[in-house]
């Protein structure tokens, strides 16, 4: 899928555009993503940082991932909408949270990460690869 994706926060303070083909599309079920999104998972698409532009000022909150690396979570400072993640383990990538896209229908997950932290009530396609 080659594309240009637009998105942003609820209040409109943050806007972004991602160009080209995503590196991958995933669903994360780690406990940090569950807390940040307020649900059982965090659907995300990874893009090269060079193909991503952002307007507005994000507020960042850092957590430690299951692998011990830092993940910086970017939120709108005004409305609190989670927008993206920047894992230190992948410094050339930005992970867009799918709920922040203008058109969420484009998202097609390829795999699930940290699936062992998922909940029975959070139904995800059982045919997706799990890591």
Look at residue 125 and tell me whether its pLDDT is greater than 70.
yes
Question: Which secondary structure element, helix H or strand E, spans residue 27, and what is its range?
Answer: strand 24-28
Q: What is the pLDDT of residues 15-65, one digit of tens each?
A: 999 999 999 999 999 999 999 999 999 999 999 999 999 999 999 999 998
The span from the CA of 38 to the CA of 32, in Å, is: 10
Phi-psi region of 105 (alpha: psi -120 to 50; beta: other; left: phi over 0): alpha
Look at residue 2 and tell me whether its pLDDT is greater than 90.
no
List Cα–Cα distances, 69 to 5, 15, 61, 111, in angstroms: 28, 27, 14, 21
Domain assignment of residue 38, given as a range: 3-130
Question: What CATH number does residue 41 fall under?
Answer: 3.90.1590.10
Confidence of residue 115 (pLDDT cuts 50, 70, 90): confident
**What global pTM score does this model have?**
0.92
Number of domains in the chain: 1
């Amino acid at each position: 899928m080659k594309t240009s994706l637009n998105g942003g926060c609820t209040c409109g303070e943050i806007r972004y555009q991602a160009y080209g083909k995503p590196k991958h599309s995933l669903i994360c079920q780690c406990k940090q993503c569950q807390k940040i999104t307020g649900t059982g998972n965090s659907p995300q698409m990874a893009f090269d940082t060079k193909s991503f532009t952002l307007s507005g000022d994000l507020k960042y909150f850092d957590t430690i991932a299951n692998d011990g690396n830092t993940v910086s979570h970017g939120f709108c400072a005004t409305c609190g909408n989670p927008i993206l993640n920047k894992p230190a383990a992948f410094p050339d990538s930005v992970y867009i949270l799918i709920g922040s896209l203008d058109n969420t229908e484009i998202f097609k997950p390829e795999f699930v990460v940290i699936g062992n932290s998922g909940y029975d009530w959070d139904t995800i396609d059982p045919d997706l690869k799990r890591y």
